[in-house]
Structure 1
Amino acid sequence: MAGHIQDRWYKTVTDAEGTSKRVKTDRYGLGMRYRARYVAPDGNERSKSFPDKQKRLAEAWLTQLAADMTRGQYVDPSAGKVTFQQFATKWLASQTTDVSTITAMELRFRLHVFPHIGSRSLNAFQPSHIRGWARALKDSGIAPSYQRVIFANVSAVFGAAVDDGRIPRNPCRARSVKAPKLDPRKLKPWTRERVIAVRGGLPEKYRTTADVAAGCGLRQGEIFGLAVDEIDFLGGIVHVVRQVKLVGSHLLFAPPKGGKLRDVPLPDTVSYVLAEHITRHPPIEVTLPWKAPNGPPVTATLLFYSRERKALNRNYFNMYLWKPALVSAGVIPKRLPGERFSESREHGMHALRHYYASVLLDAGENIKALAEYLGHADPGFTLRTYTHLMPNSQDRARKAIDEAFGTDAEDDGDSGEATAA
């Protein structure tokens, strides 16, 4: 790398006799004295100014740049002058994931990120800035799991900036920066009595949604998108192939979460109530765009739909059907006139999915199978979420050994040696 230090306060001149001497320039005493100049890998000249008495610092800066270029780690200092908000906005626009995921990320950035760190240039970030923002996020009172999602989104933006050569490293991955910790509280599944009570609080037309959630483990959107031809009554299988999503104010069909299509066992009890539901409330054809508001139209014969014979909107269902059912079951208090329902995030329809998982684990189902039924891509996630609900391993071990040796031990007077062997 060709680089040199320019002294803008002095210049060297040669007189008529060929003698060189240093004289003050017109800029003497004004602004930064030294300008470190170099040619970047793209062939363009770059420079950085340093104050008086900082020539050694300028030389060290050039030396570091030369080393970075040799290692292939050079980052153009001017590339990181764009603000976090500017870069994140372009990054969001380039994402190829589904529309609802992008919309959710945009909302997180707008509410919890841009007001705090959006105006700072990428190359001006230090780990301390991320620590301060993470602390503000924690103090805001939002759920730890949601904090982790927001933090991961921000880290992804910085990761993209590193990949694009705008900054040398991701400040979210500094050793002194800690990602938000998950709430240590363990998930507590509903009891059978509560499931029955909440189901009974739903309008008759929608009670079967609770049966499908608690009996098959489907997500809310998957239940809303369930079509009659995806129920195999003879084979005892539910084919989960779509969900109803809400993107802004638009309802649309989309693949299940993570694009993971799956088959779920259909218990006889759920099969019976589904058949009865179909008799009382015949399925109807509903057409929605596929995956995006401007996507191609797709038609499905849905089992559950609104009074207007449209796909169910989660906002309407949760506010006007689900929460009143929680009130009737005594899960949350009654809403006072003019006020909102109490916060009930842990008592959303997802609670029926947790109940489903707890019942299967208690019956001895293995984690891999449960993960498949729930549509989890990673069985490790299933294990971390529900491991405390698994039957006690010590109890199982004692029972297994007792069953293996118990009868023989009673018949053999020297049972101590037999079990010790």
Structure 2
Amino acid sequence: MAARKPQRRREFGTVRKLASGRWQARYLGPDGQRHKAPETFETRSDAQDWLNLVRADIERSAWSDPDAGAVNFEKYALRWMEERGLAPTTVDRYNALLSLHILPTFGGKDLDEIAPPSIRTWRAERLNATGATTVAKSYRLLKAILQTAVDDDLLRSNPCRIKGAGKEEADERPTATVDQVFDLADAMGPRWRLMVLLGAFASLRPEELAELRRHSVDIDECSLRVTHASPELTNGRRVTGDPKSRAGKRTVYLPDFMQPELRRHLRWFAEKEPDGLLFVGEKGAPFRRSTFGRKWRRARTKVGVPENFRFYDLRHTGNNLAADTGAKMKDLMVRAGQSSERAQLIYQHSTAKHQRKLAQDIDAEVRQQLKEADGGRQQALEA
């Protein structure tokens, strides 16, 4: 009986010689579509070697459509935003990062045209043009979008591979002295005086201040109930919703010296309805960042605090002042409306008794610092 000849393995794909003398490789993919190599080859064996690599990928289920990444990055990024169900403020922030820092470089490219070298070049150029914090935020957003493209099988791997590029090194923010806080409040004028004092001595965020209502104030308790926030988008529109974190809904007990400030503001400047806004402009319009910003810059110049001292730094000032009283971390976090999953497990909760005690300690600390400064304003508080 004649021996059976070993079967020859069927050739995978085809190669052909082009008019240029180079060789082209083509194959039928698992998707039923015909694909060709992204480049031509100098020899027939080089083309065949490439086909063998593709065949190996298919056999170990590692093949991906080489044309899958031929999707415009800008269109994909905008669809990525739409599918996320993001908060309006997050959409606003991401749109700014995309339009100013990402799309000018990558908007016209397909996903598979974005490679690690182009990411490195882009990041280096951005660092020369803007702040490191903004570049880190832009990099994180770009990486997140491209990672979704990997998950969607449009890319084999994420080209964002720079270690530590998405980490922000937060600058140490400036703080004001207690005396400077009162000077800023004086310089802002009677209508906005309370906003400055609450920004510092209640550690409230600007978007929380914008949504305070008359019914948020408990004069007898000398406290505020924070239940909502109203951040302002870049188009000037405010979007009302929950505070920044779950811990943002809180009762903030105020130093005793704030009680007459609250009474005065409610009498003269807050809207009269129970749910009326605490802070409105001279013509009754809601608090606007642009209008307030002009007044703030003038007050800052008049008082002589650094130009980089932002209104938000009043919150940092207040947090430091509260920490100087020796309060426990959990009490400080509750007062400031700060939270993290880990912190919630560790600190659990702070009682109203602790929060009242912290407010009393802040009151004493403020009075002591004013007394050491010149005594004049301290006498006014006691009057």
| TM-score, L = length of structure 1 | 0.71
Q: Which residue pairs with 1:336 in the alignment?
A: none
1:44-123 aligned within 5 A: 44-65=33-54, 68=57, 73-123=62-112
Does the alignment pair 1:220 with 2:210?
Answer: no
Deviations 1:37-73 (A, max 9, x none): 1323x44443335423355554554455455556655
Q: Which residue pairs with 1:318 in the alignment?
A: 293
Say whether the 8 Å CA contact 1:3–1:62 is kept in structure 2: no
CA drift at 1:269:
2.5
Give the aligned length.
333
Instruction: Select which of 324, 339, 343 maps to 1:377.
Output: 339
Q: 1:244 to 1:52 in 2, by over 3 A?
A: closer
1:325-404 aligned within 5 A: 325-331=299-305, 344=307, 346-378=308-340
Say whether the 8 Å CA contact 1:50–1:58 is kept in structure 2: no
Q: Give the strand-richer structure, 1 or 2.
A: 1
Deviations 1:92-111 (A, max 9, x none): 23231112321221122111
SS in 2 for 1:81: coil
Does the alignment pair 1:168 with 2:130?
Answer: no
Does the alignment pair 1:144 with 2:152?
Answer: no
1:196-207 aligned within 5 A: 196-207=182-193
Q: For 1:38 and 1:3, how far apart are their aligned partners in 2?
A: 12
Deviations 1:300-343 (A, max 9, x none): 42111112212111122112x211110110125xxxxxxxxxxx
Say whether the 8 Å CA contact 2:119–2:159 is kept in structure 1: yes
Listed as ranges, the gaps of 5+ residues in structure 1 are 10-27, 286-298, 333-343, 382-421
Q: For residue 250 of structure 1, what is the amino acid of its counterpart?
A: R
Q: 1:45 to 1:330 in 2, by over 3 A?
A: same
Q: 1:243 to 1:251 in 2, by over 3 A?
A: same
Q: 1:214 to 1:50 in 2, by over 3 A?
A: closer
Q: Which residue pairs with 2:366 in the alignment?
A: none
Q: For residue 329 of structure 1, what is the amino acid of its counterpart?
A: V
Deviates more, 1:50-59 or 1:363-372: 50-59
Q: For 2:283 and 2:11, how far apart are their aligned partners in 1?
A: 73
Does the alignment pair 1:158 with 2:146?
Answer: yes
Q: Which residue pairs with 1:407 in the alignment?
A: none
Query: CA RMSD of the aligned region, Å?
Result: 2.9
Q: 1:47 to 1:312 in 2, by over 3 A?
A: same
Identical aligned pairs, as a percentage? 21
Does the alignment pair 1:39 with 2:29?
Answer: yes
Say whether the 8 Å CA contact 2:209–2:229 is kept in structure 1: yes
Say whether the 8 Å CA contact 1:134–1:180 is kept in structure 2: no
Q: For 2:175 and 2:53, how far apart are their aligned partners in 1?
A: 57
| TM-score, L = length of structure 2 | 0.77
Bigger RCO (CA 8 Å, 6+ sep): 2
Q: Which residue pairs with 1:307 in the alignment?
A: 282
Q: For 1:243 and 1:284, how far apart are their aligned partners in 2?
A: 20
SS in 2 for 1:37: strand
Q: Which residue pairs with 2:174 in the alignment?
A: 188
Does the alignment pair 1:255 with 2:242?
Answer: yes
